[in-house]
A and B are shown apart, each in its own frame.
Chain A
Amino acid sequence: MSKPPKRRSFPRSKVCRFCADSSLKMDYKEPNILRIFITERGKIIPRRISGNCAKHQRQLTTAIKRARNIALLPFTVPRR
């Protein structure tokens, strides 16, 4: 069965990266890993785009929010 042609087709990973790769540790002390899951403006990338599973997305959200609190990640990135 071929896919019906759709207008909106953006690249999207369908597998949760934390489930697929057990070495990828989710920790608020690792801003460089968390940075993958935020936009350039510092927003958390939604699950429907990042493809994370619900459990890991929840953990990710807390991790990012903690990292923001101790200035490891930005709350916002102001436009120049």
Chain B
Amino acid sequence: MRRYESIVVLDPDLHDDDIKAFTEKYSQLIMTQGGEVIKVEDWGTKKLAYLVRKRDKGHYILFDYVGNPALIFEMERQLKISEDVMKYLSVKLDDEVDLEAFKQQAKPQEAAPEEAPAAEAPAAEAVAPVETAAPVEAVAAPEAEAAEEAAPAVEAAPAEETEEPKAVEETATERKESENE
């Protein structure tokens, strides 16, 4: 089993329901192929660095999961077919991940949902070390990664805020277009 990460850039005009259905669909796909979803992050609508399909915005979604190479194959095949997907990128984070170890980590994750994902990363890289090493890492990890934890949270908030003005902008541009006609 390997650990992968896929970033998908979706059409920014999609409804929230469509985006929810999309994440659901691919989470299901990962599960049915014998993988395990570690986390799904919705970054919201962001401005693109360059135009993609004549659009300057995109909706970013990050999948972090464990699976076999066959899963990635199927995943990318379906992403290619999908019309809503503007861009995607899959990165292999780790070879040889023990699925059971992740399932065990998933349990404390429920107790401390904020710290668990941060603690996971160093633990995943060092699967070999003995269990006793884990608490030491866990103590060190939140300190180092607390700042990183805060960063995505800050990013997420403005993204949500921008959604409303964006809707206004769109109507504005639509008006302009109609005026031009």
Chain A interface (Cβ < 8 Å from any Cβ of B): 22-23, 25, 28-31, 66, 68-75
Contact = CB atoms under 8 A, between A and B. Distances in A.
A53 B91 CA distance: 24
B96 interface: no
Nearest to B41: A29
A71 B87 contact: yes
13 contacts: A25-B148, A29-B62, A31-B49, A69-B87, A69-B89, A70-B7, A70-B9, A70-B88, A71-B9, A71-B52, A71-B58, A71-B87, A73-B49
B50 A74 contact: yes
Give 5 closest A-B pairs by Cβ, nearest first. Answer: A71-B48, A74-B49, A70-B89, A71-B49, A73-B49
A66 B62 contact: no
Contacts of B89: 66, 69-70
Interface of B: 7, 9, 48-50, 52, 58, 60, 62, 87-89, 91, 144, 147-148, 151
Contact of A70 (B87, B144, B147, B148): B87
A28 B144 CA distance: 19
Please indicate which of the listed interface residues A28, A30, A70 has the most CB atoms of chain B within 10 Å of its own CB.
A70
A21 B79 CA distance: 38
Contacts of B151: 30
B148 A71 contact: no
B49 A23 contact: no
B87 A23 contact: no
A49 to B, nearest CB: 22
The interface centre, meaning the residue of A22, A28, A31, A72 with most chain B CB atoms within 10 A of its CB, is: A72
A75 B144 contact: no
Nearest to A75: B50
Q: Which of B52, B89, B91, B147 has the most CB of A within 10 A?
A: B89
Nearest to B60: A70
A28 B5 CA distance: 12
Nearest to A30: B151
Nearest to A70: B89
Nearest to B62: A29
Nearest to A42: B49
B144 A23 contact: yes
Given A29-B7, A66-B89, A71 B62 contact: no
